[in-house]
Amino acid sequence: MRRSRLPLLLLILTLLPCVTRAEVSRPNFIVILCDDLGYGDLACYGHPQIKTPHLDRMAAQGIRYTSCYSAAPVCSPSRVGLMTGRSPNRAGVYDWIPASNGKTKRPDSREQVHLKADAVTLPKLLKKAGYATCLSGKWHCNAQFNSPAQAQPDDAGFDHWFATQNNAAPSHKNPRNYVRNSEPVGPIQGFSCQIATDEAIDWMRDKGAPDSDQPPFFLYLAFHEPHEPVASPSELVAGYEDVAENENQAQYFANVENVDLAVGRILKALESTGKDENTLVIFTSDNGPETLSRYRGAGRSYGRPDPLRGMKLWTTEAGFRVAGIARWPGVIKEGQVIDTPVSSLDFLPTFCHLAGANVPGDLQLDGAVMAPTFQNKPLTRPKPLIWCYYNALNEHRVAMRQGVWKVLAKLNGGELPRFSNVNTKNVVEARGAKLTDIEIYRLSDDLAETHNRAETNPKALARLTTQLELAYRELVRDSMVWVAE
């Protein structure tokens, strides 16, 4: 029987100062991030066909969050938010970042966009506190990947990195665009999530036995799956031929199952190396599912948003309410299902709290310490969660989660042009936009956002409008502006 570390650890976390806490017990951290995974794509979140036994077991051994949010409804800003604990708008990352050769100038200045070298990031803070750090998988936090012109994963604090700029190419099968510590790797046989997992496991094994002098570690395992172009092992695809609508859907189902197999390998590696009980593992996604055939090449995007409204690129719940599973044997109570809102913005303050890593006192964080939820206790969130996505597919481009309430707002009545970036050409228009057409939804009994209560609950509308206005204006004032050239 596993001996519980809970009483000792809780005593440490509540009674001792940060430095002593870090010296006594510092857990390892693993964040496993999917790309475009639908809220309803796992069996433990209700999918009727996809087999995810390892993630189901992970949820049964820990927490399944039903109100877990990404930092944005699209990839690059979501990843920047996770890295910084701040709204990605503050770092100037408003939309996905297209690759750039450094020569061609874009009208929207997106060739400049990257997570800057001076940004305070989670791996930097943990590294400063003595942690080893590793990225394996998708980076997508700069336009000029593996170039001295922009900051790279090592500038963000990763000791070891094995990554691509955006998607695995030409697909998840046999990718040829991985780079390891600035050196292109060339073609690799296999499927991307398993390749990234191979790298992660090899790196973890180098960290030594649990009682060795090796430092604790932070691993960021960022899968490309199930983002297009989807490609899956044939033996997994065959398992869905009788339940899928077509070959493309079978490919998608198998893609998610392949992710589950990779997660199972990570958990097994932790157990076999004796690091299991001292490692907090969080599984989540960067945003919601892609819309089938929204663009050429999206013919296998069969992600399931159910029971939420919208899809990726929307500010309704399906855009950024994602799967969230946390496991930490002996510390997190098993079998919990928690509806308390948590966010990838919470990872930085939470991990730093548990590691005894110092966060600069003047750093404006948008996340909160989510550790109380490990014991199903209330989470104190000093500010509401807010999203401002100028390029949303729906007309309400600003959203807020406050308690049981979801708030949506248009900008200038929906007349504000859509922006993929904010630069010196459009900043006045962006900052001067007015919040209009505010809608409020009580998510506790209206998860699908079908009943706007703005007219029937004027007191709640007034209170939430004031809170939204304050949070939105503070964010807009602090959002980074790129210089248009």
pLDDT tens track for 374-384: 999 999 899 99
Written in H, E and C, the secondary structure of 12-37 is HHHHCCHHHHHHHCCCEEEEEEECCC
Structural domain range at position 302: 25-375
Q: Is the dihedral of CA 400, 402, 406, 411 positive or negative?
A: negative
pTM of the entire predicted model:
0.94
Determine, yes or no, domain membership for 7: no
Q: Kindly give the pairing relationship between strand 132-138 and strand 217-222.
A: parallel
Determine, yes or no, domain membership for 452: yes
Where residue 118 falls among pLDDT bands split at 50, 70, 90?
very high
| Judgement on whether residues 288 and 429 belong to the same structural domain of the protein | no
What's 408's domain CATH number?
3.30.1120
| Judgement on whether residues 348 and 421 belong to the same structural domain of the protein | no
Determine, yes or no, domain membership for 116: yes
| Judgement on whether residues 182 and 262 belong to the same structural domain of the protein | yes
| Judgement on whether residues 406 and 276 belong to the same structural domain of the protein | no
Residues recognised as catalytic: 75, 140
What's 259's domain CATH number?
3.40.720.10
| Predicted local distance difference test score (pLDDT) of residue 22 | 37
- Domain termination site, one of 375, 404, 426: 375
* Nearby residues of 261 by Cβ (< 8 Å), 6 or more positions away: 54, 194
Q: Is the dihedral of CA 261, 193, 48, 447 positive or negative?
A: positive
Residue 441, strand partner residues: 406
Q: What are the percentages of helix, strand and coil residues in the chain, rounded to 5?
A: 30, 20, 50
| Judgement on whether residues 260 and 193 belong to the same structural domain of the protein | yes
pLDDT one-digit tens code per residue, 233-279: 999 999 999 999 999 999 999 999 999 999 999 999 999 999 999 99
Determine, yes or no, domain membership for 14: no
Kindly state the average pLDDT of the residues 114-138: 98
| Judgement on whether residues 173 and 105 belong to the same structural domain of the protein | yes
| Judgement on whether residues 191 and 219 belong to the same structural domain of the protein | yes
pLDDT one-digit tens code per residue, 29-68: 999 999 999 999 999 999 999 999 999 999 999 999 999 9
Kindly state the average pLDDT of the residues 83-109: 96
Is the pLDDT confidence value at 13 over 90?
A: no
* Nearby residues of 185 by Cβ (< 8 Å), 6 or more positions away: 162, 178, 179
- CA-derived radius of gyration, the chain: 21
Total domain count, the chain: 2
Determine, yes or no, domain membership for 2: no
Determine, yes or no, domain membership for 10: no
| Judgement on whether residues 55 and 202 belong to the same structural domain of the protein | yes
| Judgement on whether residues 36 and 134 belong to the same structural domain of the protein | yes
| Predicted local distance difference test score (pLDDT) of residue 25 | 74
| Mean pLDDT over the full length of the chain | 94
Is the pLDDT confidence value at 6 over 70?
A: no
| Judgement on whether residues 337 and 443 belong to the same structural domain of the protein | no
| Judgement on whether residues 353 and 438 belong to the same structural domain of the protein | no
Determine, yes or no, domain membership for 485: no
Determine, yes or no, domain membership for 367: yes
* DSSP codes joined into one string, 269-298: HHHHTT-GGGEEEEEEESS-PPPTTSSTT-
- Crossing angle of helices 75-84 and 347-355, rounded to 10°: 30
| Predicted local distance difference test score (pLDDT) of residue 39 | 98
Q: Which two tokens stand for residue 197?
A: 């997992």
The CA distance from 52 to 383, in Å, is 35
| Predicted local distance difference test score (pLDDT) of residue 210 | 61
Comparing CA positions, the residue from 330, 226, 191 lying closest to residue 271 is 330
Is the pLDDT confidence value at 19 over 80?
A: no
| Predicted local distance difference test score (pLDDT) of residue 456 | 97
CB 28 within 8 A of CB 278: yes
Q: Which residues of 196-229 are buried (b: 16+ CB within 10 A; e: fewer)?
A: bbbbbbebbeebeebeeeebbbbbbbbbbbbbbb
| Judgement on whether residues 183 and 327 belong to the same structural domain of the protein | yes
- Domain termination site, one of 334, 355, 375: 375
Q: Where are the alpha helices (DSSP H) in 312-346?
A: 317-320
- Domain termination site, one of 375, 394, 409: 375
